[in-house]
Amino acid sequence: MDIVAELLNGSKLAISRAITTVENEYDEATEIMQKIYPNTGKAYVIGITGPPGAGKSTLTDKITKEYRSRGKSVGIIAVDPSSPFSGGAILGDRIRMNELTMDDGVFIRSMATRGSLGGMSRKTAEVVKILDAAGKDIVIIETVGVGQSEVDIVKTADTTLVVLVPGLGDDIQAIKAGILEIGDVFAINKADREGVERLNLEMEMMLDLDQSETAWRPKIMRTVASQNQGVVELVDAIEDHSTFLTQSGMLEKHRFERTRNEILAMLDEAIKIYLMKKVAGSKFESLTTEVNERKNDPYSAVKSVLSEVLK
């Protein structure tokens, strides 16, 4: 099977195999990514985050159906944490999306974080590219966010949707933890419950305090995902943000930044690997001994290693 050609044709088997190849870092992973790269950059990427059980998957299901009715194809990456003890994971987001499974315009993949912090797997951004190259118009990433761990999604998504629920009692805490700063659009989900007004008011107040000088004021929407209420308006709000980014030139700016960061991150890793190969060995061991016995200091040691390696 010519996995790249079939993937670009939208073959689900090829998409699926390519994701596995990248996720497990098989030998062909780099080659696949190199070949599909020219076909990426077309999909609009939406990140959905929020506390456990807020209704992110239910909302993802409904948002996807709304995009489908607007004629868009959708790729979904549902990320759940790996157990730090066993390394295993239960990936349960699909439960809320079973109706999408038989829709040929939708592809859903569950991923475990596999030890990476920040809410996403280290490979999520690459899976976005695979779905993008396969022709999906919209790519949605669902991650669990608890406080400060959802920063990664902001770096990958064009629009970040933060899902909150009323009546948790820790509304202010969530706000403090920085969740407000990352949202372009907010959904107060489970709006059928008490406490909606209060949460809405608190959030508006926090947004008023925000000093940053972006021209976009995050929108606060209300949804009852389980009853498909407020979803059309929510998707409209996401589209408004998308239009804003495009017209202000910020989409291009953000994507340029993202590309730069990607190259830097890959360079960083490549240099690290190169350095460790060069540095490792008995010479490094004896240098460590010297420093440990206070015959040398770590600052001078680093200097001497660098001048040796970079000769």
Partner 1 sequence: MEKRIRVLVAKPGLDGHDRGAKVVARALRDAGFEVIYTGIRLTPEQISEAALQEDVNVVALSLLSGAHNTLFPRIVEMMKAKGLDVLTIGGGVIPDADIPGLKAAGIAEVFTPGTPTEKIIEYIKANVK
Ligand X SMILES: Nc1nc2c(ncn2[C@@H]2O[C@H](COP(=O)(O)OP(=O)(O)OP(=O)(O)O)[C@@H](O)[C@H]2O)c(=O)[nH]1
List contacts with Mg ion (CB under 5 A). Answer: 56-57, 93
- How many residues are there in the chain? 311
Instruction: Compare residues 57 and 82 and give the one whose CB is closer to Mg ion.
Output: 57
Name the helix (H) or strand (E) containing 46. strand 44-50
The stretch near partner 1 (CB under 8 A) out of 14-22, 210-218, 243-251, 300-308 is 14-22
Q: How far is the CB of 161 from Mg ion (least distance, A)?
A: 13
Work out which of 2, 5, 12, 264 binds partner 1, going by CB under 8 A. 12
Q: Report the side by side order of strands in the sheet with 74-80.
A: 106-112, 74-80, 138-144, 44-50, 159-164, 185-188, 219-222
Work out which of 4, 189, 222, 251 binds ligand X, going by CB under 6 A. 189
Instruction: Compare residues 17 and 109 and give the one whose CB is closer to Mg ion.
Output: 109
Distance CA 115, CA 42 (A): 30
Contact 117/149 with Cβ under 8 angstroms?
Answer: yes
Distance CA 129, CA 302 (A): 38
Work out which of 27, 38, 84, 86 binds partner 1, going by CB under 8 A. 86
CA 133 to the chain's CA centroid = 17
Strand partners, 108: 76
Q: How far is the CB of 6 from partner 1 (least distance, A)?
A: 11
Q: How far is the CB of 30 from ligand X (least distance, A)?
A: 31
Q: How far is the CB of 107 from partner 1 (least distance, A)?
A: 6
Q: How far is the CB of 13 from ligand X (least distance, A)?
A: 27
Name the helix (H) or strand (E) containing 77. strand 74-80
Distance CA 263, CA 112 (A): 24
Q: Which residues bind partner 1 (CB under 8 A)?
A: 12-13, 15-17, 19-20, 23-25, 82-83, 85-92, 94-95, 98, 101-102, 107-110, 112, 114, 122-123
Applying CB under 6 A, the residues found at the interface with ligand X are 52-58, 93, 96, 144, 189-190, 192, 224-226
